[in-house]
Amino acid sequence: MGFWKPGASIIHQIVLENHAFPGGMMVGTDSHTPNAGGMGMIAIGVGGADAVDVMAGLPLELTAPKVLGVRLTGELSKWASPKDIINTIAGMISVKGGTGSIIEYYGPGAQTLSATGMATVCNMGAETGATTSLFPYAPQMADYLRANSQPDMARAVEWISPELHADEGAEYDHVIQIDLSTLEPCINGPFTPDLSTPVSKFGSAVAENKWPDNLTAGLIGSCTNSSFEDMGRAASLAQQALDVGLKPKMPLLVSPGSLQTRETLEKAGILQVFEKLGATMLPNACGPNSIITSYNRNSSGHLDSNPATHVFLASPEVVMGKIFSGDLSFDPSADSIPTSSGAEFRFVPPAGDALPQQGYEDSDSSYKAPPTGDRSQLAAQINPSSERLPKLAPFAPWNGNDYENCLILIKTTGKCTTDHITPAGLWFRYRGHLENISNNTLIGAVNAESGKVNTVRNHDPHRRRHHNYGEGSSREHAALQPRYLGGVAIIAKSFARIHEANLKKQGMLALTFAQEADYDRIRASDLVDIVGLPSLSPGRPLTLHITPSDSREPWKTELRHTFTPEQIEYFRAGSALNLMASKCHLS
390 is a domain residue: no
Same domain, 230 and 171: no
Q: 308-326: per-residue pLDDT in tens?
A: 567 888 888 999 999 999 8
Q: 221-238: per-residue pLDDT in tens?
A: 877 788 899 999 999 999
Same domain, 154 and 265: no
What is the domain-level CATH number for residue 283? 3.30.499.10
Q: Which domain holds residue 327?
A: 186-336
pLDDT interval class at 172 (50, 70, 90)? very high
Same domain, 439 and 578: yes
Task: Answer with the residue of higher pLDDT: 11 or 238.
Answer: 238
Q: 274-306: per-residue pLDDT in tens?
A: 999 998 633 322 333 456 766 545 454 444 455
Mean pLDDT, range 387-401, rounded to an integer: 87
pLDDT interval class at 489 (50, 70, 90)? very high
Same domain, 150 and 31: yes
Non-local CB neighbours of 576 within 8 Å, separated by 6+ positions:
49, 52, 53, 504, 505, 506, 507, 570
pLDDT above 70 for 117: yes
Same domain, 191 and 167: no
Instruction: Tell me the C-alpha distance between 207 and 187, whole Å.
Output: 15
Domain stops at, among 154, 182, 210: 182
Picking from 29-43, 121-135, 274-288, which range would have the lowest pLDDT averaged per residue?
274-288
Same domain, 164 and 197: no
pLDDT above 60 for 426: no
Domain stops at, among 300, 321, 336: 336
Within 248-332, strands assigned E span 252-255, 289-293, 309-313
pLDDT > 90 fraction of the chain, expressed in percent and rounded: 51
58 is a domain residue: yes
Same domain, 164 and 248: no
Mean pLDDT of the chain, nearest integer: 85
Same domain, 325 and 455: no
Domain stops at, among 126, 153, 182: 182
344 is a domain residue: no
Strand, helix or coil at 290?
strand
397 is a domain residue: no
20 is a domain residue: yes
**Total domains present in the chain:** 3
Same domain, 193 and 168: no
383 is a domain residue: no
512 is a domain residue: yes
Same domain, 190 and 156: no
Task: Answer with the residue of higher pLDDT: 393 or 121.
Answer: 121
What is the domain-level CATH number for residue 102? 3.40.1060.10
What is the domain-level CATH number for residue 416? 3.20.19.10
Q: Crossing angle of helices 115-123/139-147, nearest 10°?
A: 100
Q: 245-255: per-residue pLDDT in tens?
A: 999 998 888 88
Tell me the whole-structure pTM to 2 decimals. 0.83
Same domain, 207 and 289: yes
494 is a domain residue: yes
Q: Which of 543, 539, 568 is nearest to 556 (CA)?
A: 543
pLDDT interval class at 446 (50, 70, 90)? low
Same domain, 157 and 274: no
DSSP 516-550: TTHHHH--TT-EEEEE-GGG--TT--EEEEEE-SS
Instruction: Tell me the C-alpha distance between 218 and 279, whole Å.
Output: 10
